[in-house]
Structure 1
Amino acid sequence: MNKNPFLEYISKFITLTPKEETILLSKIVQRNYLKDQYIVQQGDVCKTANFIISGCTKTYYIDLEGQEHIVMFSIEDWWSSDLGSFITQTPADFNVQCLENTKLIQFNYENLEELYKEIPKLERLFRKIVERAYVASQKRIIRNFSLPAKERYKIFNATYPKINQRVPQYLIASYLGITKEFLSKIKNQLVSK
């Protein structure tokens, strides 16, 4: 039997009864986005938490000089939202844009709050998700402050090989905080070793 990929993902964290699965599925929406379409834009309130069934997104912000800064990429079985905006229901600091045609499971804020009451163990699930996101963010900050670009690229490549194959190199350079020319130099150095 082919199980819903979202329910498969959830089962890694919590066990739902068939009744709870039915309640959960009644509160979510599946939506398709086209490549380059925005899920949320800087300044808008992020209305949904988004689980990726298929596709790839980038989360980024634009600084006052108009420079794009990539904060993260998300692929299948990952979440993609401006989490701070979603939790606080205040304007988003980040843009979330599709790099490929992307299929999502979406929870709107009100439905998620209702689900927490109806299925209390979902709070544990989302706590675990937020904890993982926080730890990943903290590790990235430390790496950006303490490691040279070549080491950051090697870690990115080892940690996210599927992303590295799907995302244009200039976006990976932005994620690493370097120019695409410098990333090209790093890659050439690694190949020649």
Structure 2
Amino acid sequence: MLDDYRLFTTQIVILWAVLDPLSHLTLFMGATTSLAVADRRRAAWLSVVIAFGILTGFALLGPLLLRAMGVSLLSFQIAGGVIVFLFAINMVLGEAHQGEPHQNASPDAGENATSIAIYPLATPIIAGPGSMLTILLLMDNNRYSAFQQAITIAALAVIMVALLGIFLAGEYIGRVLGVHGANLIRRIMGLILAALAVNMILSALALWLRLPEI
């Protein structure tokens, strides 16, 4: 029982470090700048639920899928890094949203919130290559039993609940920052995200070529 508790707490710490809910708040605020308050909350709920489903599904089926397709983890990491890099470039160089978010939802506001919740919030921001690789390693069939894998899913659920709470609280933080502050944070976090994407790619290449760590 003690070992299971240690495994649970250890995996919570690992997943918190990888998913980093506090830094995701700035990305969430930047991606939902143009949404009304209700739509922003809808996007928060949908993004967390969808990301949890993606990570859980990939944890269970990812090894079989990659093995069946003959894709290595390093290849997956490089491909994911490229996608994250392209998204980060759009954050840095894309057009900033002007004006305050509309309080009255437009007819297509719900669809827009759903679209943003799926991309880029659920993936690649929350369920990105880094988190997918981490959950894949934590669910290793060769090292962990079914019960231990269930503990990993429970730890992931705890982190997702914390992430949702932070997203929902972002409305109040957004009032303090304002639209221009949110756009500024969007560009800064885009630059950081681009650096992380490059690091993911170079780290995978370093392992493949047996080069020293970057």
TM over 0.5: no
More strand by share: 1
Which protein has greater RCO, CA pairs closer than 8 Å, 6+ apart?
2
Q: TM-score, normalised by structure 2?
A: 0.29
Q: TM-score, normalised by structure 1?
A: 0.31
More helix by share: 2
